[in-house]
Structure 1
């Protein structure tokens, strides 16, 4: 069969559709610094059209920002819409549409004041828009990812004090409520909006056209509250294979390529055709074990698997050494991370003993994985070989890239996983409480839920830190996350691109800030 050369193929297909890449990646907690692939001391130059290429989700893609799940979804949503807050590069909540927030003494009522901002059709962003958006997200009949994060809010009792002031009544004290305002997917849409075929937001770019799985074309919003973008137009393209994204960049079909692997960065970076931006230790990499299903409903089996993993071999092999080892906990280096916990190391003798105690000798398990994310298939193969040394047979099953994340949330027992930038508190609330809708390990412990609630009712930071440490020590000993590494996150740009912010983990404020970029 005759095949088009790669470059002609991309031109013919408009950058192919297909696999999804979960927009839950970088877990880094470094401080951001302005700059890009070249020194950004020059005066920004207005105009031009920038084409950015991401992995996508196929023809089922939507511009409903409350259905945001993939990196490309998040990039589209933040170009078109705004949240009340977003995460800074240190993962603290930074005001966006919210100009300020203030709690009452009991930490169960928060007053949020809105800045002056307008939707693309000229209507002002009001408190009623905020309440509609949050009530839509919180609707139990819908499957919006941010729903569990909004659960602490009593939206029936919350009210618009005036057009620019929202009073959020909470079901219980919540010391870190601003994290809710910044939560992934909690975008503000105009009151009553249900049709997103030609969305109207308050973001830096306005809708022009959209072909699901292929391209979103946007135009600059000259009236954006934070200042008009430098670019005249932005096009977000889809190419699921990393090689296709890189070919688009090198072939002049794109100026920004998201998610480049280390080998590519080494091969092409610094040679005049591609500039590389590295975000060290940004992407949490690991496996999830379903804690409510055999064989992982036995904590001894989970502990054995934690001891089977050779983390350095996984980082070196699956990440080409571009990262650091993990210790089975999320958010390395973040606030509340228990850095004093000893690093877990490989211990095959103890792992075998635990499996014998559990009656799980000669265990066979299926490990679900997919080329949906860099290093997944490689890590699965490496762990399969590591497990064989402990007498465990791991059968690697390659899943559908388009449905992988949905499939592993409730299906299977053991799967490749990675997670995204958020505070440790948000990771717990979204993925580890009994009510969490993104609970891939099925960790549902009422006493753990109570510790989390106690932490949120605790005003004293030192006491709250102690509660978080108790929770994380338990997760380290009994949980279903095998977190073997933290990968460098890499994006690449054409040499003409300026304004890229370094050290900004994915899904934080300065990640994919296309309104701040310009072309020389």
Structure 2
């Protein structure tokens, strides 16, 4: 079934005043029938169609009432790293555990607008070179100790400096230091303007820890759940934090575990062994849609799976080779076949229409086997090997077929998913990668293409591009920002060693017993925000 079935009735019901919604929901819970409601509504002058929508909306709302207690089990497509250190997080498994255990200073809502979290208020000075954060009082860590300004300053400064191990170091490249103003106020001082800092602080790595924390098997956090059991690479169990500074979550506990195989993960959902699964195989979507008790959760996004040609080694060091492969991408076919049409066409750069900064003026690169053959012959390369794990395989096999027609031998080597990010990614000349959307185009580009970015996976180094990133962060002028983003997107499309045939919706599978899931587009299951808000239906 699909979640859109009751959207019209839910919206009609939502337009009622709060008191009437509560009264109607209580009446239905008490046994009020549809016929009885239509009779009363007709006497009040309401049309039958409107009354019917109201009744169905109220019944849907009643059915969505969250239950107190229970266990929510989530099967992840990857487990992530073997640490609870937020600065090292790199995948959905990490981001989800981090959201259960920690909080950020700010939280990104469904529109990706920064909202107060551990900081109850924040503001920048006129040129965005200094940001001030007023901290929420009464927040405690899992051991009962209060969160302080010292904890915040220590946590944020971990991402700064040449020696930091932070995966998100590049996002703090303009931050000189965090300092304590008083017990409830901290400041970030920047060496250059950054109008995106609040959005950056809402992303996955910038969690607040206890000052001096070193136990990253079970560090102290302020989040909605406490760690009850942690088996790195296998599973984690988190129990409700009854002393949470906001309303504690409804479930007694959540269990996170990884099932790398798509079919096995789908089976876990269909059999009831998991209430939620990430990264649903597009080929399985029709089956889930036609099965009672489970549903597809699809959110439009700028996320994508891509092919990486390392430009610091052959054959990707020859721009002709990279251009040849780009022209071999049959983008429409890739979107239809590998994603079931659930997404948008890509243009070899990460910013699509899901981003406010998307530039529509860039010419779409077309599938052109003749042009591809020309560039490949010019490169002198006649064959190459690409390594692919369990994701991206359909995309690569389609490219292999097109390459064969152009007289190029693209050899596909399937490799295990376990250990892929440590042994293959950014270590072999041709491989695949996968990215979730980020809250702003500058953040996305900074992580994946900045000259000094740790995750600059094709090793495309362009100093002009790095300067454009800085200029964009320094201005709030919309016209100027549009010009800067157009040039950046054009540079990546033309020169970077990254092939992006399409962007995908975030497509997950959930039990119809689940309620409270958000539509944040930054990652699986509502941008990995679900631990605090999801519950089982009553």
What interval of TM-score do these two structures reach, taking the shorter chain for normalisation?
0.7 to 0.9
Shift of 1:452: 1.5
Taking the TM superposition and a 5 Å limit, the aligned residue runs for 1:163-312 are: 163-281=183-301, 283-312=303-332
- Tell me which stretches of 4 or more aligned residues in structure 1 moved more than 4 Å: 38-41, 507-510
Shift of 1:169: 0.8
The structure whose residues are more often helix, as a share, is 2
User: What is the SS of the residue equivalent to 2:501?
Assistant: strand
1:398 aligns with 2:414: yes
- Determine the C-alpha separation between the residues in 1 that align with 2:275 and 2:86: 24
Other-structure match for 1:87:
108
Bigger RCO (CA 8 Å, 6+ sep): 1
Q: 1:480 aligns with which of 464, 485, 497?
A: 497
1:381 aligns with 2:402: no
Q: 1:363 aligns with which of 382, 405, 408?
A: 382
- Determine the C-alpha separation between the residues in 1 that align with 2:116 and 2:256: 26
- Determine the C-alpha separation between the residues in 1 that align with 2:482 and 2:98: 33
1:348 aligns with 2:369: yes
- Determine the C-alpha separation between the residues in 2 that align with 1:481 and 1:135: 32
Q: Is the 8 A contact 2:517 2:530 kept in 1?
A: yes
Q: Is the 8 A contact 1:281 1:324 kept in 2?
A: no
Other-structure match for 1:458:
475
User: What is the SS of the residue equivalent to 2:158?
Assistant: helix
Q: 2:180 aligns with which of 160, 173, 179?
A: 160
1:516/1:175 Cα in 2 relative to 1: closer, same or farther (>3 Å)?
Answer: closer
Taking the TM superposition and a 5 Å limit, the aligned residue runs for 1:15-94 are: 39-41=60-62, 42-57=64-79, 61-94=82-115
> Which moves more between the two structures, 225-234 or 39-48?
39-48
Gaps of 5+ in 1: 1-32
Question: Which is greater in Rg?
Answer: 2
1:468 aligns with 2:485: yes
1:453/1:503 Cα in 2 relative to 1: closer, same or farther (>3 Å)?
Answer: closer
Q: Once the two structures are superposed, what CA deviation does each residue of 1:439-468 show, in whole Å capped at 9, x if it has no partner?
A: 101121122211211222223222122112
- Determine the C-alpha separation between the residues in 1 that align with 2:470 and 2:519: 35
Other-structure match for 1:518:
535
User: What is the SS of the residue equivalent to 1:447?
Assistant: helix
Q: 1:407 aligns with which of 397, 411, 423?
A: 423
> Which moves more between the two structures, 317-326 or 470-479?
317-326
1:499 aligns with 2:486: no
Shift of 1:295: 2.5
User: What is the SS of the residue equivalent to 1:394?
Assistant: strand
- Determine the C-alpha separation between the residues in 1 that align with 2:525 and 2:480: 27
**Number of residue pairs matched?**
478
Shift of 1:82: 0.8
- Determine the C-alpha separation between the residues in 2 that align with 1:444 and 1:255: 43
1:217/1:57 Cα in 2 relative to 1: closer, same or farther (>3 Å)?
Answer: closer
1:175/1:242 Cα in 2 relative to 1: closer, same or farther (>3 Å)?
Answer: same
Shift of 1:509: 6.5
Q: Is the 8 A contact 1:202 1:224 kept in 2?
A: yes
- Determine the C-alpha separation between the residues in 1 that align with 2:524 and 2:272: 26
1:455/1:500 Cα in 2 relative to 1: closer, same or farther (>3 Å)?
Answer: closer
Over aligned residues, Cα RMSD in angstroms?
A: 2.4
1:316 aligns with 2:336: yes
Q: Once the two structures are superposed, what CA deviation does each residue of 1:463-499 show, in whole Å capped at 9, x if it has no partner?
A: 1221121111111121222110122322222232222
Gaps of 5+ in 2: 1-9, 15-58
Q: Is the 8 A contact 1:89 1:508 kept in 2?
A: no
> Which moves more between the two structures, 496-505 or 419-428?
496-505
1:419 aligns with 2:435: yes
- Determine the C-alpha separation between the residues in 1 that align with 2:395 and 2:155: 39
Q: Once the two structures are superposed, what CA deviation does each residue of 1:269-313 show, in whole Å capped at 9, x if it has no partner?
A: 342232221223553122122222223223232222211111112
Q: Is the 8 A contact 1:79 1:515 kept in 2?
A: yes
Q: Is the 8 A contact 1:441 1:481 kept in 2?
A: yes
